[in-house]
A = this chain, B = another copy of it.
Amino acid sequence: MALRHAVLAALLDEELSGYQLAKAFDLGVANFWHALPQQLYTELAKLEKDGLVTGREVVQDTRPNKRLFKVTEAGLAELERFAATANKPSFIRDDLLVTVQAADHVDTDEVIAQLTERAAFADAKIELFGGLLRQMRGDRSEEEFLRHGERIGPYLTCLRGLAFEEGNRDWCHRSAAILRERRTAHAQR
């Protein structure tokens, strides 16, 4: 029951439409919560029904009209309640790890290919997060920003995302290197 809180947290900084929210969940927000557009539209409807967000119609002549949502007082209170109670440890579900777990029983070339692909994906994320961080802290140093910035939550989660992807990249490179070396060694026998 935490998608709703992820949506509330994402709407704290700016009013967003369902569509924009979906974009956000595809980029930075996906860093702390993953969700598909469908879920977001559904969840926004529920949140509005429960009075945790309010939507307002914005008429556009160049684009289709949209509804921008913002968090209400009740929504903030709900987030507060959530912060005080929630603590399910995060769980991982990763196809790549499943594949590597089975590495000794499946085609090594495939595993190496998957690892390489994931490393590239991680690199893209690392660049993305690096850019987001620079943007958030502006001309301040990280230390300075974290000390005195007025909105550091997104910065902290982005730092975690960055470290996570760096971890992914390093592990992918190392694992691929090991598998390559073993393949070579095996071929030489």
- Listed in ascending order, the chain A residues whose CB lies under 8 Å from chain B are 2, 5-6, 8-10, 12, 30-34, 76, 79-80, 82-84, 86-107, 110-111, 114, 117-118, 121, 146-147, 150-154, 156-157, 159-160, 163-164, 167, 170-171, 175, 178, 181-182, 185
Contacts and interface: CB of A to CB of B under 8 A. Distances in A.
A108 to B, nearest CB: 10
B83 A33 contact: no
Q: Is the interface of A mostly helix, strand, loop or mixed?
A: helix
A160 B164 contact: no
Nearest to A177: B146
Contacts of A111: 83
B171 A159 contact: yes
B99 A31 contact: no
B2 A89 contact: no
A76 B105 CA distance: 8
B95 A93 contact: no
Given A87-B117, A147-B185, A178 B153 contact: no
